Amino acid sequence: MKNNNDWNPDLYLKYRNERTQASIDLVNRISIDFIPEKIIDIGCGPGNSSEILRRRWQSARIVGLDSSASMIEKAKSDYPDSEWIIANALTYETKEKFDVVFSNATIQWIPNHKELLKKFYGMLSDRGIIAVQLPLFRDMPLGKAIENVSKLKKWKSKTDGVSNLFTIYDYFFYYDVLSKLFNSIDLWVTNYIHILESQFSILEFIRSSGLKPYLERLDSESEKLEFEEEVLGLIKKDYPLQENGKVLVPFKRLFFIAYK
């Protein structure tokens, strides 16, 4: 039986370019003087980030891991020659060691980042690195608008606690955790200015990600539409229409690469 709350790869990939650019930038920023033999992509989704890794290191064995059956099904369909695993990143156990533990826009869905990063460290070979990107969703007007709407009296009983599903810290936190484990750390923040067709497109863009857990708590399609309309009403002033009718959406992302 299909899980209706599972991730929707087709909706996710509707904005493939916007979602994949961060993976491209993270992969290209990795500075190592060897060709990695084994790489694991934690939260690989439909395989678009794993493909970026493949393009840089064609001879490496790349394992894509995701907890979503539908995402892994899509990855297998699009990239049948690669290796895919359905598993929870927090509980996944392996004796294998990887030269690169890579994770793009995933760990914000996983709690206890101190333990998670220690786990990633334990999966590394002697010369291994971790490379991670996560959206700073709470720093953006979009994230704040969704949270504010969810706290309204009409929605609170259904959406209460959803914000706790996100685990996001600032770079000070990650530096302190990583500096106890790694010899060298590279951190940076980038605002990606996405050019979208309309203000409604903003909702489409995040419906398969940051908006998803809120909508899952609502009982009917009419409730979901009403919730989205209220979010849209709040964000219009923050994302005004350009002269040609399009909308510029700054999307803030934190990156870090840590070298043993």
The per-residue pLDDT for range 81-123, each reduced to its tens digit, is 889 999 999 899 999 999 999 999 999 999 999 999 999 999 9
Model pLDDT, residue 6: 64
As beta bridge partners, residue 252 has: 191
Query: Which H or E element spans position 70?
Result: helix 69-78
pLDDT for residue 133:
97
**Closest to 212 (Cα-Cα) out of 70, 20, 6:** 6
R_g of the chain computed on alpha carbons: 19
Q: What pLDDT score does 17 carry? A: 77
Is residue 29 exposed (0-12), middle (13-18) or buried (19+ Cβ within 10 Å)?
middle
pLDDT attached to residue 1: 35
Q: Residue ranges of the chain with pLDDT lower than 50?
A: 1-4
Q: How far apart are CA 135 and CA 14, in angstroms?
A: 18
What domains are defined for the chain? Answer: 9-259 (3.40.50.150)
Strand partners, 104: 133
CA distance 192 to 221: 31
Identify the three-state secondary structure at position 132.
strand
